[in-house]
């Protein structure tokens, strides 16, 4: 492992807890709608005009709604390994929040190991390295 | 019916990767529509353009750009931008103007020149832009279509071959279409041997981006009568509704759906809501539809549209394509033009191209692609950021 400092690829979107990381979202204080990414300004529920929110960590487990993979290197700002290594992607339903969150699946898992309805948990894994640090992001891992 | 307008003329510039200025395609399509309508350009009182975001300022003010290219003649002008629904929004603006009695005859036109390769977002560190976020995390356009396709497979039992059947059908339909870009009859084997892009979608299951242009001349029913064309194809409904909170399906470019956790909030499927308003407005039932043009950004997405248009029950779309129901000669032909599979997407022109095809079908002018005795046609498309449309035309 590199000795570089570890930072979130997108600052403030998840905790850096290596054991049980969580996405950091928000919740409307008035109607209870969750947001990821965080919304702290205006509630998008058409029946709610609240502007008061609390930051909340989101459920770190969910069920796969659907999944796929990326067989070709995406364009920038994606930073690809050289040579490019395909990776799987999952859309995961969070029961408490009643929302679906996309993310890569951890390295080494391909689509033939995934299934709609499968339980997954959130982990952190390297997205890419820079000269100064290692950028980690949330990924889904079969539970 | 008081809210109907007539389609007097339609025209297109063939789709391709021509690399010319988009204005050329728009002018060619507009002139074809004007000639088809049998009017003079100077008779047009309102020019309604669909904008392109990829061609600088002239694209942002497309209505004026086309009006100038055709020769300033004092018409009023409008430009609409609504992603893939831009053409329908431009048509809706023309309809409103006509029904308000502010103009008799309008030109609706959209055209695009697309860059080569991936459409990449602006550079920098911009986490407030969902488009930047998803590319940074490795989520491209095919990701979303593949997620919808895989869900069909795991929930309804659709197969990769079903998606292949859609591609094969559309390539047979577009084979003789002079405006189509890809004119090759693909086989199931061709599809299965093409490279995997985003499992389960292969290269031949996803659409390309193209250059192209489409236009139509629309007018009041009184004007159509005056022209001796009281029996022209009519626009019976235009739906451009926004989604209803909360989103059930994760939509491009978002990284997450809305949360449906609040009391009184249900998850809604945006695509399915688009034709509902169109059917209501036209007073037409899905059973009455003779032909449909839908946005097959992927061949699996075409199956979702069968269900969203209520051509079958949810989960049964694959059976329609297996039966041959949606091919020419079937019960309800879909994408007789060849669809995006044969055209590739030219965003501001695409929703208008759908209406052009239906107009030719309802006039009986679709040649080898003709659906016998077509009376009612419906379009459907969906784009980024809550845009989408469904247009119903009838004889």
Q: Which residue in the set A70, A103, A115 is minimally distant from B198, CB to CB?
A: A70
Output the pLDDT for position B119: 66
Q: How far apart are CA B335 and CA B353, in angstroms?
A: 11
Output the pLDDT for position B384: 86
Contact yes or no for B132 and A34 at CB 8 A: no
**Beta-carbon neighbour count of residue B378 at 10 Å?**
31
Contact yes or no for B127 and A13 at CB 8 A: yes
Output the pLDDT for position B354: 98
Helix (H) or strand (E) holding B307: helix B299-308
Q: How far apart are CA A68 and CA A72, in angstroms?
A: 12
Rg (CA), chain A: 16
A-facing residues of B in 261-300 (CB < 8 A) are 261-265, 267
Output the pLDDT for position B332: 98
Residue in the block written with tokens 């980024």: B384
Contact yes or no for B143 and A70 at CB 8 A: yes
**Residue B94 CA: distances (Å) to CA of A126, B63, B84, B88, B196:** 52, 12, 18, 10, 42
Residue range B340-364: mean pLDDT, rounded: 97
Q: Which residue in the set A46, A69, A117 is minimally distant from B245, CB to CB?
A: A46
Q: Which residue in the set B139, B201, B257 is minimally distant from A100, CB to CB?
A: B257
Name the residue of chain A whose CA is nearest to B131's CA. A77
Per-residue confidence at B300, pLDDT binned at 50, 70, 90? very high
Does the domain at A59-142 match CATH 1.10.10? Answer given as no
Task: State yes or no: ipTM above 0.85.
Answer: yes
Check CB contact of B241 with chain A, cutoff 8 Å: no
Name the residue of chain A whose CA is nearest to B152's CA. A66
Contact yes or no for B138 and A66 at CB 8 A: no
Contact yes or no for B136 and A9 at CB 8 A: yes
Name the residue of chain A whose CA is nearest to B118's CA. A75
Helix (H) or strand (E) holding B354: helix B347-363
Beta-sheet strands, E only, within B62-131 = 76-80, 105-112
Output the pLDDT for position B385: 87
Shortest CA gap B294–chain A (Å): 23
Contact yes or no for A33 and B123 at CB 8 A: no
Say whether pLDDT at B232 is over 80: yes
Which residues does chain B have within 8 Å of residue A102's beta carbon, measured at their own beta carbons? 134, 137, 139, 143, 250, 255-256
pLDDT digits (tens, 9 = 90+) for B46-61: 999 999 998 999 999 9
Say whether pLDDT at B117 is over 90: no
Output the pLDDT for position B124: 85
- Residue contacts between A and B (CB atoms, under 8 Å): 147
**Residue B218 CA: distances (Å) to CA of B94, B343, B347:** 8, 24, 21
Say whether pLDDT at B206 is over 70: yes
pLDDT digits (tens, 9 = 90+) for B72-112: 999 999 999 999 999 999 999 999 999 999 999 999 999 99
Across B110-124, B190-204, B239-253, B274-288, least confident range = B110-124
What is the value of pTM for the model shown?
0.96
Domain locations in chain A? 59-142
Contact yes or no for B138 and A72 at CB 8 A: no
Beta-sheet strands, E only, within chain A = 6-8, 24-28, 34-35, 53-57, 61-70, 87-94, 99-105, 119-129, 134-142
Residue range B214-239: mean pLDDT, rounded: 98
Residuewise pLDDT in 10s, chain A (143 residues): 557 999 999 999 999 999 999 999 999 999 999 999 999 999 999 999 999 999 999 999 999 999 999 999 999 999 999 999 999 999 999 999 999 999 999 999 999 999 999 999 999 999 999 999 999 999 999 99
3-class secondary structure, B251? coil
Contact yes or no for A104 and B137 at CB 8 A: yes
Check CB contact of B199 with chain A, cutoff 8 Å: yes
Check CB contact of B386 with chain A, cutoff 8 Å: no
Instruction: State chain B's mean pLDDT as an integer.
Output: 96
Q: Which residue in the set B121, B199, B260 is minimally distant from A69, CB to CB?
A: B199
Residue in the block written with tokens 């094969």: B168
Rg (CA), chain B: 20
Say whether pLDDT at B146 is over 90: yes
Output the pLDDT for position B120: 72
Contact yes or no for B136 and A77 at CB 8 A: yes
Shortest CA gap B385–chain A (Å): 14
Per-residue confidence at B116, pLDDT binned at 50, 70, 90? confident
pLDDT digits (tens, 9 = 90+) for B287-296: 999 999 999 9
Which residues does chain B have within 8 Å of residue A89's beta carbon, measured at their own beta carbons? 138-139, 143, 147
- Go through the domains of chain B in sequence order and give each one's CATH number: 5-117+210-226 (3.40.47.10)
Q: How far apart are CA B94 and CA B103, in angstroms?
A: 9
Output the pLDDT for position B118: 62
Residue range B21-38: mean pLDDT, rounded: 98
Which residues does chain B have within 8 Å of residue A91's beta carbon, measured at their own beta carbons? 147, 250
Residue range B338-343: mean pLDDT, rounded: 98
Q: Which residue in the set B132, B256, B261 is minimally distant from A100, CB to CB?
A: B256
């Amino acid at each position: 492992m590199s000795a570089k400092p570890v930072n979130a690829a997108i600052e403030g979107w998840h905790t850096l807890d290596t054991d049980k990381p969580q996405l950091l979202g928000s919740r409307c204080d008035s109607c209870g709608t969750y947001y990821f990414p965080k919304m702290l300004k205006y509630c998008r529920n058409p029946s709610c005009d609240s502007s008061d929110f609390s930051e909340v960590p989101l459920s770190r487990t969910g069920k796969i709604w659907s999944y796929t993979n990326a067989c070709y290197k995406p364009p920038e700002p994606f930073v690809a390994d050289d040579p490019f290594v395909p990776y799987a992607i999952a859309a995961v339903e969070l029961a408490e929040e009643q929302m679906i969150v996309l993310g890569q699946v951890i390295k080494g898992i391909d689509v033939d190991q995934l299934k709609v309805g499968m339980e997954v948990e959130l982990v952190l894994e390297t997205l890419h390295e820079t000269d100064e640090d290692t950028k980690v992001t949330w990924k889904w891992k079969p539970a | 019916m008081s809210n109907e307008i007539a389609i007097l003329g339609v025209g297109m510039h063939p789709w391709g990767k021509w690399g010319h200025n988009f204005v050329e395609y728009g002018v060619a399509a507009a002139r074809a529509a004007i000639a088809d309508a049998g009017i003079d350009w100077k008779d047009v009182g309102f020019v309604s353009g669909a904008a392109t975001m990829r061609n600088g300022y002239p694209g942002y003010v497309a209505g004026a750009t086309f009006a100038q290219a055709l020769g300033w003649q004092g018409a009023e002008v409008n430009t609409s931008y609504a992603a893939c629904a831009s053409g329908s929004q431009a048509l809706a603006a023309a309809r409103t103007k006509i029904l308000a009695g502010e103009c008799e005859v309008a030109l609706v036109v959209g055209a695009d020149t697309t860059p080569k390769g991936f459409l990449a977002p602006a550079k920098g560190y911009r986490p407030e832009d969902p488009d930047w976020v998803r590319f940074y995390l490795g989520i491209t356009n095919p990701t979303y279509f593949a997620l919808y396709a895989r869900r069909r497979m795991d929930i309804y039992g659709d197969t990769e071959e079903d998606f292949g059947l859609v591609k094969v059908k559309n390539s047979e339909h577009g084979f003789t279409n002079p405006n189509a870009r890809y004119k090759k009859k693909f086989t199931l084997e061709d599809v299965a041997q093409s490279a995997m892009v985003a499992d389960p979608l292969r290269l031949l299951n996803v659409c390309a981006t193209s250059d192209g242009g489409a236009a139509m001349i629309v007018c009041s029913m009184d004007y159509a009568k005056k022209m001796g064309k009281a029996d022209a194809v009519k626009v019976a409904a235009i739906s451009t509704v926004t989604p209803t909170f909360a989103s059930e399906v994760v939509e491009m470019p978002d990284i997450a759906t809305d949360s449906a956790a609040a009391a009184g909030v249900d998850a809604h499927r945006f695509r399915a809501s688009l034709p509902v308003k169109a059917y209501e407005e036209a007073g037409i039932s899905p059973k009455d539809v003779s032909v449909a043009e839908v946005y097959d950004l992927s061949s699996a997405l075409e199956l979702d549209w069968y269900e969203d248009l209520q051509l079958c029950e949810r989960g049964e779309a694959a059976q329609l394509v297996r039966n041959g129901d949606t091919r020419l000669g079937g019960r309800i032909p879909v994408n007789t033009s060849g669809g995006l599979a044969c055209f590739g997407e030219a965003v501001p022109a695409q929703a208008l191209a759908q209406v052009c095809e239906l107009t030719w079908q309802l006039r009986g002018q679709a040649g080898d692609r003709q659906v016998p005795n077509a009376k009612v046609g419906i379009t459907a498309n969906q784009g980024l950021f809550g845009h989408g449309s469904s247009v119903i035309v009838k004889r």
